Chains A and B, each alone.
Chain A
């Protein structure tokens, strides 16, 4: 039983990281109907900014977190402005290829600047305490609580502010919103900013928990987060969070009871089965197609 709770805690930690990134994917998809494949690499940049903050600038935890979030936010907005906006009206596939290109560029640019994996000294006092036999580490607590706070903040922004209302409107029907006087470009930029900021925070959490980073960590984590967003129904914010925790749990539980090489196999098979029965994800909207 204790073993189970220990693994559940691990799953919560992994799920939180996925959730922060999945939110970015789902928000961008909601407003632009575009999958931003570079998002995972924004997360990776966040981890590297964390490295810069800790090792080069010797900052402590909160300033590093804010710095990474700010940096990735700016990068995300810049990407949108430079690479995606010109393709707003081009075939969707072109935008996706562009995002793939941006991702590859970020990976190899970072690789060029830092060819060796980097090590980040612990940001928080690293100790763990025993709660009824379950080992809880400070990193796990920090990751889960900060993710929760950020997600709550996002929820408030999206549901309780006018800007959030505009975002939801664009998600629902992009064509008509500009006619209502909403500055679409700015709202889209803001969406990117929010999504990227969360991704940057995820990068810092990840770097804290797994302090050896290299430019390729974004690829697989990015795809896993993307899958989380799809499981929950892409475009749906609550779905992204739900999907992320489900995927995190599946992964950890698989590794807990089967050799770790089965992890991807089980995760993807479940995904496939889910999509066969619910082709639009768990909370996704069924869209009708017009002839």
Chain B
């Protein structure tokens, strides 16, 4: 991996920056072409899109769990909020308008709704930490699920139907790149330093002037926003959502993807999400034993590489010191 990246890098910092942009643009063109001309099997496109969605989820969760060092177990609740709000908008409220701009609006609205829920979760995080915060996030996620179950107008426990298949490969690609870009820049900004300092030692950070409250709020909101985006994309891909989809098992899956790839590393999240999704599909011939073999592999990985595949290391192209030859991110 590292060798491939080195090979692609022309000399100088500016050259590196250009080449990343070129890669992204080329990728987007490719996604458009595949989707338009069916260059790849429809099923493969479905898998690629699921990978993208999982990627967004993993990256957003990594922000809170990896970089901020909290233990948030209720990420599926944010995804649910995004999925439902975007679906209600696209099926009920904005049904008569052209899907070309309804879809991005609906997905964005889903993200914002999830962000609001994230704000609500951030408040208890000011006082509680560690395992108790895990419970708080879990409780929030279950409350979101329960609230949806009791709202008959959106189908309650029976689920919500009627979405058109608006999620396409170019859209997923766009949102995935947007997530990587925004989260990466967030991490290496002033706020991001605050996030890292909260992880290392919250009280010391507070004493040295970091506004831990703002930092936590922003981190939770950004994290839940992207989870909501992922939810909206998911809803318009599978075309059916129900509270049962966003349960503790889903949150567990997201946790597994984050820790598999390595916390505190964007490249790690990408690898974790991709590995998990692909492995799950590749193991399908095992039938029922697929989900028994998968956790065994996970356990083995944890025992031999407890920090995940990437650990805390970051890919060179994503960290800002790339091109300047400065010290690696630890």
Contacts and interface: CB of A to CB of B under 8 A. Distances in A.
Are A and B in direct contact (Cβ within 8 Å)? yes
B149 interface: yes
Interface stretch (B189-197, B300-308, B317-325): B300-308
B259 A112 contact: no
B292 A268 contact: no
A242 to B, nearest CB: 16
Interface string A88-127: 0011011011101111110111011001000000000000
A87 interface: yes
B24 to A, nearest CB: 31
A83 interface: yes
Given A91-B307, A271-B139, A272-B140, A262 B298 contact: no
B178 interface: no
Q: Is the interface of A mostly helix, strand, loop or mixed?
A: helix
Interface string B116-151: 000000001001100110111011101101110110
Contacts of A168: none
Interface residues of A, number: 46
A86 B305 CA distance: 11
Given A219-B249, A275-B135, A291-B204, A97 B302 contact: yes
Interface in A237-277: 259, 261-262, 264-265, 268-269, 271-272, 275-276
B288 A112 contact: yes
A234 interface: yes
Contacts of A219: 248-249
A68 interface: no
B131 A234 contact: yes
A230 B252 CA distance: 19
Interface in B218-270: 248-249, 252, 255-256, 259, 263
A280 interface: yes
A83 B303 contact: yes
- Size bracket, chain B contacts: 35 or more
A35 interface: yes
A37 to B, nearest CB: 8
Contacts, number: 129
Nearest to B302: A98
Contacts of B157: 261
Contacts of A61: none
B259 A93 contact: yes
B65 to A, nearest CB: 7
Interface in B198-219: 201-204, 207
A102 B292 CA distance: 9
B139 A272 contact: yes
Contacts of B303: 83, 86-87, 98
Contacts of A211: none
Contacts of B139: 227, 268-269, 271-272, 275
A71 interface: no
B146 A275 contact: no
B201 A291 contact: yes
A262 B142 CA distance: 11
B160 interface: no
B143 to A, nearest CB: 5
Interface of B: 65, 71, 124, 127-128, 131-132, 134-136, 138-140, 142-143, 145-147, 149-150, 156-157, 201-204, 207, 248-249, 252, 255-256, 259, 263, 288-292, 294-296, 298-299, 302-303, 306-307
Given A103-B295, A275-B135, 7 more contacts: A86-B303, A93-B263, A97-B259, A101-B256, A105-B299, A219-B249, A261-B149
8 contacts: A101-B302, A102-B295, A105-B299, A261-B146, A262-B150, A265-B149, A269-B139, A289-B202
